Amino acid sequence: VQPPEKPLQAEEWNKLREDFQLPEIFEEVMLNNMIRCNSPIDVAKSLLTHLAKRNGDIAYNVLVKYLTLCVQQGQVSEIHDVYDIMKVRFKILESGAYNLLIKGLSNSDEWRMALTLLEEVKKIMIPSRTCYESCIKAASRHQEMKLAFELYHEMLAKDVVPTLDVLQSFFNFSRGMKGAELQKQLFGILLYLRENQIYPHKTFMRSIKLWFESIPGGNWRGNLTNIKDSGQCPVCKHQLEDSNLTEEEYSNLSERIIRDVIHGTDTFRKTSPKEFEAFQTFVENRLPFDIVIDGLNVSHMKSRKMQCENLFDAVNCLAKENARLLVLGRKHMLMNSSNWKREIMKEMQNKADFFFAENISEDDAFLLYATLRSGKHCRFVTRDFLRDHKACLPDSLTRHLFRKWQRGHQIAFSFSSVFSQQPALRYDCVVQTTGDTWHIPYKDVFEEKYSYEVPRKWLCIQQK
């Protein structure tokens, strides 16, 4: 139904209601449509008046819908009135109404009222991130940065994840402001991005750049750039952090992989203890490898070619520089078949070490283990994103470590007619600083499309 353009009299509403197929939900449907069409608020009021006259009461969900319309149009006094009515009528409200009230009030002159409302919400539940977002934005819009940061830290303490919008608003509203404390807080946000491996999008990056350049007496200068494969910033000639993990991180990660990915709740799910032991002794006797290859994955590179030929090409391509190779496969590869020719397999075994797992075992787990055991220089070849293995790791910190290690050590082949290898990144793609420089990777678009893709564009900020 199309909502009317002007307020209606009671009889007119009655008539409309009777014409509607389901008179019981007429008001709800009508209000929903008003919200969608952004109808004038007077029309909604006339409907409420009609309802109140007929029933002597207005249901809570109808009030919330009306509130949505008011918030949408920024009708502050109406929001107030609805809040007063709700407060007297109901002991507590539910999160939907609170969200709306806070959002509506925080955009007005009475934004402090939104803060008191937030306090009220806290008594009964953990406020949603949008509640915090509205309040933080309101506070920073009115230059109350201290208050805004208090709310921000409170939100982090409650495990409510801030939106990028909130983080960006801090930079926007602090522009040109002085103060060592404020600067420290904003650096804190940049470190938050670093720790959680979040990449800002283009407009966010611009806010960061403008804030840096606006610090009075700071002499910061920002430049957009692309970082070369060598990891050197072309603007300031600074070398980015390399992608290697520290000793501690490295041993931590390999321990976790063995415990959570390979063994998990039951070693039998991915392999068997006997097989794993056999693999361990196999690896220990031949350490260290330079490159570990996921044989089956590589063999499916080109569907036109025989599977063993694909593998053969890859092994030949990688064996050139006298590298020590390990190819992981399954036992069925040894059976002479149309896809796996025995002679070719024989020839390959002269160039690389092979380990064949049981047909029902997971070879990826072995791939990870062999690479990690061989040390930091060792890389691995597969096109698999290893998401399922990452998911086996219990905490986000280890998962980030895994991602970082993966970026630095995974070689992926691309599908052109010739084998060409995508090198593992030598530098680490996170927000980083040396005190007088900051390097911030950013994305062109707001939506992050693939979590495994790292941005190639950087913001270089240096202090003159």
Question: Is residue 359 close enough to count as binding another protein by CB under 8 A?
Answer: yes
Among 45, 373, 399, 407, binds another protein (CB under 8 A): 45
Please pick, from the candidates 4, 96, 231, 288, the single residue that binds another protein as defined by CB under 8 A: 96
Angle ∠(37,39,45) on CA atoms, nearest 5: 140
| CA gap 354, 345 in Å, rounded | 10
Contact in structure between 416 and 220 (CB atoms under 8 Å): no
State yes or no: residue 220 binds another protein (CB under 8 A).
no
440: its two tokens? 């911030």
Q: Does 409 bind another protein (CB under 8 A)?
A: no
The nearer residue to another protein, 194 or 383, going by C-beta atoms, is 383
Does 97 help bind another protein (rule: CB under 8 A)?
Answer: yes
In whole angstroms, give the CA distance from residue 393 to residue 439.
29
- Report if residue 335 touches another protein, rule: CB under 8 A: no
Is there a cis peptide before residue 394, judged by omega within 30 degrees of 0?
Answer: no
Do 31 and 47 contact (CB within 8 A), yes or no? yes
Give the x-and-dash track for 115-154 against another protein (CB under 8 A). Answer: ---------xx-----------------------------
Nearer to another protein, 56 or 216 (CB): 56
> C-beta of 139: minimal distance to another protein in Å?
25
Long-range contacts of 440-444 (CB under 8 A, 24+ apart): 440/190, 440/193, 440/200, 440/205, 440/208, 441/199, 442/199, 442/200, 442/201, 442/202, 442/204, 442/205, 443/199, 443/200, 443/201, 443/202, 444/201, 444/202
Q: How far is the CB of 101 from another protein (least distance, A)?
A: 14
For another protein, which stretch binds (CB under 8 A), given 85-93, 187-195, 220-228, 237-245?
85-93
CA proximity to 198, closest of 388, 399, 454, 462: 454
Helix (H) or strand (E) holding 457: strand 457-463
Binding flag, residue 256, another protein (CB under 8 A): no
Judged by CB, which is closer to another protein: 46, or 169?
Answer: 46
Q: Per-residue x/- mask for another protein, residues 265 to 304, rule CB under 8 A?
A: -x-xxx-x-----------------------xx--x--x-
- Which of residues 5, 19, 57, 395 is near another protein by CB under 8 A? 57
Read off the tokens for 171: 């930079």
Q: Which of 37, 92, 191, 334 binds another protein (CB under 8 A)?
A: 92
Which runs of E-coded beta strand occur in 415-456? 420-422, 432-433, 437-442
Q: Quick one: how far is CA 118 from the chain centroid?
A: 27
Interface residues with another protein (CB under 8 A) are 7, 9, 42, 45-46, 48-49, 51-61, 64, 81, 84-85, 88-94, 96-97, 124-125, 266, 268-270, 272, 296-297, 300, 303, 359-360, 383-384, 415
